[in-house]
């Protein structure tokens, strides 16, 4: 009697390993209607807000999601890419994440399939993982697009991948990248962006009162006190970048941005530092955001609009936001270095 085979026909299956670039996410449009579900998903994550849901949910639904979506949508509207108001690619974060995926695919070649996913919003990480498994891919490498590890950033990306695995009878082989705050290509990308900027505008002179801010996203002080390594990894990046550029004493300062709510956050706060420098008559301020691989609301609106206005209104001179990531050669070299590391032996 012939042997009966029940395994699916492998012909047509794409068994190449996959690399998923996972970013935070973005609303689908700069409208309150689109922002509200995005904020609900984001602020419902226990890694983001560690308050028990029984206490937090009434605040979220009864206060925050009634007022904040409209204000956030107005901010998104100031950075939305023109001509694409209803397209997800109108979001700078989505646009540059997609470009990074395309350029990284070209860099790595066809032996791997590069996909882009978002932790909040679409394309959802679990959906992308499911599509890969259905197509025959059982080896998945996950790269959270956060150079410095925090439980509320890279940690929650890995959490979501783990939820997919917990719900899967047929589980993939999974590899993850924790962080890359000291990676040579990453430090070089930051340094190159500043050097190219300084070739045009001149190197800041600390003797003249000019300054450089290295602005990272903040985290609540309680998370830091509980053992989150994020601040230490930001400090390591700042130290290596300062050494690579041979920065003189007093030129660069580490600050933290994007705080919200009444709780204490790690600092010093970028907005407070910018205001103080403006009041002191700082003639020039350069700001780079090493923790953001793609430009987004926090860099384009918060830094390049709000902080710029705060600095100049307080009495400061020229303000320069220095982008480093997006689809630059340095950003792609950084991601490629990490990709080859995590894919070693698969391609």
- Give the C-alpha separation, 139 to 91, whole Å: 30
SS3 168: coil
**β-bridge mates for residue 284, sequence order:** 318
**Calpha distance 265→262 (Å, rounded):** 9
**CA dist., res. 217 & res. 41, Å (int):** 19
Contact yes or no for 215/255 (Cβ under 8 A) = yes
DSSP H/E element including 341:
helix 329-342
The answer to the question of whether 95 is labelled as a binding residue is: no
Residue whose token pair is 């950003």: 331
Sign of CA dihedral 122, 26, 176, 190: positive
The answer to whether the beta carbons of residues 285 and 240 sit under 8 Å apart is: no
CA 278, 279, 281, 282 dihedral sign is negative
Torsion-angle region of residue 136: left (phi > 0), alpha (psi -120 to 50) or beta? left
Q: What is the DSSP string of 241-286?
A: HHHHHTPPTTSEEEEEE---SSS-BSSSBHHHHHHHHHHTT-SEEE
d(CA 240, CA 78): 34
Which tokens hold the place of 90?
A: 């109108």
Question: How far does CA 209 lie from the centroid of its chain?
Answer: 31
Residue 217, annotated as binding a ligand: yes
- Rounded Cα distance between 52 and 43, Å, is 12
Distances (CA, A) of 341 to 141, 142, 153, 185, 269: 10, 12, 21, 12, 34
Known binding residues: 217, 298
Known binding residues for Fe(2+): 217, 298
């Amino acid at each position: 009697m012939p042997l009966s085979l029940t395994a699916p026909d492998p012909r047509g299956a794409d068994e190449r390993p996959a690399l998923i670039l996972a970013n935070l996410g973005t609303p689908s449009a700069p409208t309150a209607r689109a922002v509200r579900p995005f904020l609900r998903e984001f602020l419902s994550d226990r890694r983001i807000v560690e308050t028990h849901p029984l206490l937090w949910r009434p605040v979220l639904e009864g206060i925050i999601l009634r007022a904040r979506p409209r204000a956030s949508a107005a901010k998104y509207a100031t950075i939305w890419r023109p001509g694409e108001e209803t397209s997800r690619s109108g979001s700078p974060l989505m646009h540059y994440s997609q470009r990074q995926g395309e350029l990284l695919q070209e860099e790595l070649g066809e032996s791997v399939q590069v996909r882009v996913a978002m932790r909040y919003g679409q394309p959802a990480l679990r959906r992308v993982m499911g599509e890969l498994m259905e197509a025959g891919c059982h080896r998945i490498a996950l790269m959270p697009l956060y150079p410095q590890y925090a439980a509320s950033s890279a940690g929650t990306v890995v959490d979501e991948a783990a939820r997919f695995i917990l719900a899967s009878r047929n589980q993939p082989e999974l590899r993850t990248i924790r962080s890359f705050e000291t990676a040579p290509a990453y430090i070089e990308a930051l340094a190159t962006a500043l050097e190219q900027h300084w070739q045009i505008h001149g190197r800041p002179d600390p003797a003249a009162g000019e300054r450089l801010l290295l602005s990272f996203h903040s985290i609540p002080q309680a998370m830091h006190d509980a053992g989150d390594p994020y601040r230490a990894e930001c400090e390591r990046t700042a130290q290596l970048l300062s050494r690579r550029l041979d920065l003189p004493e007093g030129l660069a300062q580490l600050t933290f941005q994007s705080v919200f709510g009444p709780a204490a956050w790690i600092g010093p706060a970028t907005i407070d530092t910018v205001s103080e420098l403006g009041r002191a008559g700082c003639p020039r301020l350069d700001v780079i955001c090493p923790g953001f691989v793609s430009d987004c609301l926090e860099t384009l609106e918060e830094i390049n609009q709000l902080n710029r206005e705060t600095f100049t209104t307080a009495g400061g001179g020229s303000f320069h936001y220095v982008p480093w990531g997006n689809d630059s050669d340095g950003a792609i070299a950084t991601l490629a270095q990490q990709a080859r590391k995590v894919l070693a032996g698969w391609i």
